[in-house]
Structure 1
Amino acid sequence: MTQNQSLVAAGPPAGARIAVDDPATGAVVGEVPDTSAEEVARAVERARRAQRGWAGLDTRVRAGFLARGRRWLLAHREEVADRIVEENGKAREDAIVEIVYCAAAFSYWAKRARGLLAPAKVRSLSPFVLGRSMYTRRVPRGVVGVIGPWNNPLLNSFGDAVPALAAGNAVVLKPSEQTPLTALLMERMARECDWPEGVFQVVTGAGATGRAVVDTVDFVMFTGSTRTGRQVAARAGERLIPCSLELGGKDALVVLADAALERAVNVTIQGALSNGGQMCTSVERVYVEAPVYDAYLTLLRERFQQVTSGRPAGLGSVDVGAVTFPPQLAVMEDHVEDAVRKGARVLAGGRASAGPGRFFEPTLLVDVDHTMKCMREETFGPTLPVMKVADAEEALRLVNDSRYGLQASIIGSDMKRARRLAERFEAGCVTINDAQTNYMALGLPMGGWKESGLGVRHGAEGFLKYTRLQAVSANRFPMRRDMHMIPYEPSAYRFLLRLVDVMYGRGLRGRAD
């Protein structure tokens, strides 16, 4: 994923500001502070003070604050959607998906927090702890720093703050400098919903601001490029704080010979072109079994040519919006040019569109192979290379021939065959007859293997990462002295050895013989 620039950067000068533009027009639509390290430290200290009271609230009280936030979001959804489209350039339909996700997140984590945080009893068969009461409990980490990307300024930024807040943490959110305005709307939400002051704050800025967040918080949730993710992990390791990283992807889709082609094509286009292909879970390469390759490609090309792109102007105006991050246009052009130079053919699109904004035509490439950048490096745009394979085994080999392992998809009618194939993919998430829909299943963990990241979001694991585990053992019936205590009694230890033989020594004599 290429949403965040390097954290290695000099601090901003005092009073520095960052202009925010509309990628679809080039017009400046806002300006935000480039927050200094000192200001970040002060924000984290405010969060630390607020967190103590927030953590002390009953989960049902915190759920009430989250419910206020959900109602505010739904009441202001038009304003929020306008802001997302304005600073990101995506189609309005893609902005609505972000709002739906966050509304669901408010509700889901408010309901699930109580059960996930409940103490869990532990039983042991060891005679050494007879009579003890043992349990584990979860406590919030403190201040969580969320560093968000530009491609989903609500979903992947504030969306990660919701479970952290539900777990009892305070959150300091550093949105991408490309798309900070939506995050500031959510800070306004917190104020207008009377959330405790300091529990949720936004610090805007570039790389140095992000580094300052990593340097001061107790846990980091980062979504962005693999390159920057390595820097986050290294710095977190130096500080001995945990981090969760969702990084790059080169997600594959496999079309099996028994696939329903209409479904296969619809899933392909949605997976490749939603949000302009600017998602870590975007379908970026397709492998099609030879028997259905020609029919699939004919239908795919026809549908590709029906896709509309351009400046968003309300629902139904365009399918693919603008390119949010300026350097990404050069990556798209480079990948297409590299593929054509090495023998690929362009069946649709292939160029950056002329105009005041930043656009790239929805592009379909064929005759591709793994010598080409478009099959191995993250493109992060509305381009799709399609490759014919002899069979599923060749597809499997090529899917796994990647340094990334975030998500993969299979389209096929034989579910047993599809499941067997899915379980051999080297990817953290696999969908069958779908693409990306798993992201809306908040109970299902989502995370990458290989260079696609560490940890997960969603599911119990994605919530509990925002907590620390404490184990408690209580001796309910303490005697004056236990038999194993100093000064040692030989008879007591001879008894212990006989007890060990009875409990754990079964079969030893037979094996020795």
Structure 2
Amino acid sequence: MTTTAPAPIEVRCPADGRIVGTVANQTRDEVGAVAAKLREAQPAWEALGPEARGKHLRDWRDWLLDNERRLGELVQSETGKSWADASMETALGVDIISYLTKNGPEFLAPRKVSPHSPAGATKKMRVVYRPYPVVGLITPWNGPIGNPLLDVVGALLAGATVLTKPSEYTPLSWIEVVRGWREDIGAPPVLEVVTGAGETGAAVVDAVDMVMFTGSARTGKRIAARCGERLIPCSLELGGKDAMIVLADADLDRATSAAAWGGFLNAGQACISVERVYVEAPIYDEFVRKVTEKVAGIRVGMDAPGEFATEIGAIATEDQLQIIETHVEDAKAKGARITTGGKRRSSGQFFEPTVIADVNHSMDCMRHETFGPTLPIMKVANEDEAVRLANDSPYGLSASVFSSNPDRAQRVADQLQAGAVNMNNVLSNLFQLTLPMGGWKESGIGTRLGGANAVLKFCRPQAQISERVALKSEVYWFPISKRKATMQAKAMRMMAAGDWRRRLGLRGR
């Protein structure tokens, strides 16, 4: 009996609907075969050492820079992004490669360990870091090049091979980046890409030794469950509903500019976008007025490469566009005001930058991830109410607080249930490679970036112990005798007890 191969997947530009490419919807067997080849290549890749692996990564960095404009055009063709957003795709990855290849050998160096007691004086001990042979990387459609580069660099530098699966909506630019690794710079065959829908992603989870997933909480829970069944680790960066708190003593010009950028960068299609704003009552009206003016000036559209004529582009999928519309209509029906925007454009998958004032926690736009160009703003009585409402969410990816009083901002930050808190800034933690980036609650488990963690998360620590002195036997080896057992017990007491009476055995039965 023969089975019919799945139909190819059409990739369309959300700005105008044209077909820009097709990719295979790869089967479980095909994914398994790719993973098997990576597994064969991994030992030699690990044996190269971090310096040699870093050389290949720096060659890749140079290739990314040399092809930056062409890759940006490819990103635009499948995402409908503005040129400003598309041109950022490679920038963070280039920075990560430079940082990690410079510091990777130190991060991966064996760590010497001292004995915890005199009993270990004859031992030499160290911890070495051994990579998971095959890492699976599953990424969403909002950053087709930037998202994979957040993790693939650390995994490759660690000595792992990497099987990547981009979103079926935006696979083309990442396919080209992987091709550049394999063909243009002639790097070893340790980075591969498979394409397809959900079944292809499930096959990746079943074929690898560790999973890094970025996407929805719903899918992340299924991946975590499957990884649990297989007893393999996973790191999950999931949904966000990031809160911004603006206190009455905040610099309103800075806070409103931050809200306009943090809420609408990449058309709000970022896991750490500002998705809800809590403003203290004395400055609420002025905040709404100022941010509305700034958001109303945001230009929408897919401009020409290099033009920088618009700030935000299209919404990647029709399903996501419908979620945005539903959240806006729900807010209006429950009494919120639309101060600017509020609807989709007549052509293409574009949605107007939208400010929603007078919202409350009964509204979908405050409870569920919107992932679009909307900024809901709620009036609060004081900072205690702001903190309580900010924490009243199943998500906890990042947050921000604005106040001219550093102590007050710190006090609020210390109470927020989120993996990162920016004080008088938004999203800035993403660009600080020495800080961990990870979510609390349903926003995920594990972290990415974070200095050495960016590499070591893809490794297993291995304890190694050797002998300083070649003794004929250890005191605890067979044969057992009363004399040896008594001697061991006395030695343990002397080394571990907290007072002399117990060390000398003068207390207890």
TM > 0.5 between the two? yes
Structure 1 residue 498, shift from structure 2 partner: 3.1
Whether the 8 Å CA contact 1:351–1:361 is kept in 2: the answer is: yes
Structure 1 residue 306, shift from structure 2 partner: 1.0
2:334 equivalent among 320, 329, 342? 342
Gaps of 5+ in 2: none
Letter in 2 for 1:388: K
Whether the 8 Å CA contact 1:68–1:193 is kept in 2: the answer is: no
Moved more, 338-347 or 305-314: 305-314
Counterpart-to-counterpart distance in 2, 1:209 and 1:435: 35
Count of matched residue positions in the alignment of Structure 1 and Structure 2: 501
Note if 1:467 corresponds to 2:459: yes
Counterpart-to-counterpart distance in 2, 1:479 and 1:214: 47
Normalized against structure 1, the TM-score is what?
0.94
2:297 equivalent among 306, 309, 312? 306
Letter in 2 for 1:465: K
Note if 1:327 corresponds to 2:319: yes
3-state SS in 1 of match to 2:302? coil
2:54 equivalent among 63, 77, 80? 63
Which residue in the other structure is 1:451 paired with? 442
Q: Deviations over 1:267-322 (max 9, x none)?
A: 11110000000011000000011222122111111111111112333433211210
Q: Map 1:296-445 to 2 at 5 A.
A: 296-314=287-305, 315-355=307-347, 357-445=348-436
Q: Deviations over 1:469-502 (max 9, x none)?
A: 1001112213223333332232333333333333
Which residue in the other structure is 1:6 paired with? none
Structure 1 residue 92, shift from structure 2 partner: 1.1
Which residue in the other structure is 2:211 paired with? 220
Gaps of 5+ in 1: 1-11
Structure 1 residue 412, shift from structure 2 partner: 1.4
Counterpart-to-counterpart distance in 1, 2:442 and 2:109: 34
Which residue in the other structure is 1:294 paired with? 285
Which residue in the other structure is 2:40 paired with? 49
Whether the 8 Å CA contact 1:457–1:463 is kept in 2: the answer is: no
Letter in 2 for 1:340: K
Note if 1:478 corresponds to 2:448: no
Q: Map 1:34-433 to 2 at 5 A.
A: 34-314=25-305, 315-355=307-347, 357-433=348-424
1:503 equivalent among 484, 495, 507? 495
2:23 equivalent among 32, 48, 58? 32
Whether the 8 Å CA contact 2:117–2:495 is kept in 1: the answer is: no
Counterpart-to-counterpart distance in 2, 1:13 and 1:283: 45
Structure 1 residue 15, shift from structure 2 partner: 5.8
Q: Deviations over 1:242-277 (max 9, x none)?
A: 111110000000111121111101111110000000
Counterpart-to-counterpart distance in 2, 1:485 and 1:142: 36
Counterpart-to-counterpart distance in 2, 1:197 and 1:495: 56
Counterpart-to-counterpart distance in 2, 1:379 and 1:424: 24
3-state SS in 2 of match to 1:185? helix
Counterpart-to-counterpart distance in 2, 1:139 and 1:18: 37
Normalized against structure 2, the TM-score is what?
0.95
Question: Considering only aligned residues, what root-mean-square deviation do their CA atoms show, in Å?
Answer: 1.8
Counterpart-to-counterpart distance in 2, 1:220 and 1:124: 34
Counterpart-to-counterpart distance in 2, 1:55 and 1:291: 59
CA 1:341 to 1:481, structure 2 compared with 1: closer, same or farther past 3 Å? Answer: same
Moved more, 384-393 or 459-468: 459-468
Letter in 1 for 2:498: R
Which residue in the other structure is 2:485 paired with? 493
Which residue in the other structure is 1:7 paired with? none
Whether the 8 Å CA contact 1:309–1:321 is kept in 2: the answer is: yes
Whether the 8 Å CA contact 2:85–2:312 is kept in 1: the answer is: no
Whether the 8 Å CA contact 2:110–2:126 is kept in 1: the answer is: yes
Structure 1 residue 331, shift from structure 2 partner: 0.6
Counterpart-to-counterpart distance in 2, 1:359 and 1:330: 11
CA 1:95 to 1:80, structure 2 compared with 1: closer, same or farther past 3 Å? Answer: same
3-state SS in 2 of match to 1:258? coil
Counterpart-to-counterpart distance in 2, 1:136 and 1:159: 26
Structure 1 residue 342, shift from structure 2 partner: 1.1
Counterpart-to-counterpart distance in 2, 1:508 and 1:395: 55
Whether the 8 Å CA contact 2:151–2:454 is kept in 1: the answer is: no
Moved more, 25-34 or 108-117: 108-117
Q: Deviations over 1:91-112 (max 9, x none)?
A: 1111222211011122112112
Whether the 8 Å CA contact 2:85–2:265 is kept in 1: the answer is: yes
Letter in 2 for 1:298: R
Q: Map 1:6-21 to 2 at 5 A.
A: 13-14=4-5, 16-21=7-12
3-state SS in 2 of match to 1:469? strand
3-state SS in 2 of match to 1:359? coil
Q: Deviations over 1:399-422 (max 9, x none)?
A: 100000101011112112212211
Moved more, 454-463 or 479-488: 479-488
Structure 1 residue 218, shift from structure 2 partner: 1.0
Q: Deviations over 1:147-192 (max 9, x none)?
A: 1110000111233211111111111111000000011111221133
Counterpart-to-counterpart distance in 2, 1:479 and 1:51: 38
CA 1:433 to 1:293, structure 2 compared with 1: closer, same or farther past 3 Å? Answer: same
Counterpart-to-counterpart distance in 1, 2:495 and 2:210: 43
Q: Percent identity?
A: 45
